[in-house]
Homo-oligomer: A and B are copies of this chain.
Amino acid sequence: MFKTARVNRISQNIVEQIRETIISGRLKPGDRLPSEKDLSAEFGVSKASLREALRALEALGMLEVKQGMGGGAFVTEVDLETARNNMFNYIFFQNPSIGEFTQLRTFIEPQVAEIAALKCTQADLDYLEDNLNRTREKMDAVPFYYELDTKFHHHIAQISGNRLICFVIDSLKNAIVQIKLQLELDRDFSIQVYKAHMRIFDALRKRDPEQARAEMQRHIVEVDERMKHYCDGDTLF
C-alpha cells in the first residue's frame, strides 16, 4: 500500500537539494558552488558525506569538480554522452530484441529523412558527402567505421532541428553499436550499409522526400535482417 519510507541518507538529501536548485534555475551551468569546506559547513555535514553527494551529482553529469586553486564544483549541462550512457544502462537490463530496436527506428527515422530532404542545406550535403568519403576509406577500421555510421544518422536527425529526435536516434544507434561490437560482422555488411547511406544521400541531394523516406526505411529493415542473421535469433545481451 505504501512505499517503504525512504532511508534518510545524508548524501542523498544533499544530492536532491542541489539537483532541485539546478532544476529550479537558481544554479546555472558554469556556476561554481562554494568550496567543500564551506558547503559541508552550510549543510552541517562532514566533508566525507558532502563528497559522496558531489560524486553522485558528477555521475549524473550535472557537476564537474576540478582540483587546484580556482577549482571547485561547477554546474554543467548533462552532455549527450552521459545521457546516452545512462539510457544504455537502462536498455541493457531491459534486454530488448533487435526487432524492438528496428520497430522504433522505423517509426522515427524514415519520417526524419523525409523532413531532412526538405530542409537540408548545401553545408549539410557537404558534411554527409565527406562522411561517405571517409566511410569508404575506413570501411575496415571497425570502431571508426561505427563512429561514422552513427554520425551519418545523427546528422540527418540534426537537420530536422528536433533535439529530442536527435537524442533518441543517437541513443538507439549507440546501443545498437554496442551490440554490433559483440557480433562479428563481415565486410559485406559494411558495404551494404555504405550503399544504403549513398542511396539516402542521393535522395537528400535531389531533395526528394518520398525517396529519402523509402531508402531510410529500406536501410533499417536491411540492417535488421542482417543482424538477426548474425545473432542467430533475436536476443542480444
Contact = CB atoms under 8 A, between A and B. Distances in A.
Instruction: Report whether over half of chain A's contact residues are helix, strand or loop; otherwise say mixed.
Output: helix
Interface in A168-200: 168, 172
Given A25-B237, A89-B83, A104 B162 contact: yes
A77 B91 CA distance: 10
Q: Say how many copies of this protein the assembly contains.
A: 2
Classify chain A: how many residues form its interface, as a range: 35 or more
A106 to B, nearest CB: 9
A111 interface: yes
A45 interface: no
Contacts of A93: 29, 77-78
A59 to B, nearest CB: 4
**Shortest Cβ-Cβ A-B pairs, 10 listed:** A83-B90, A56-B59, A86-B86, A77-B93, A52-B55, A78-B90, A94-B163, A100-B162, A78-B89, A59-B59
14 contacts: A48-B51, A52-B55, A56-B56, A56-B59, A57-B59, A59-B60, A78-B89, A78-B90, A90-B167, A94-B163, A100-B163, A100-B165, A103-B160, A107-B111
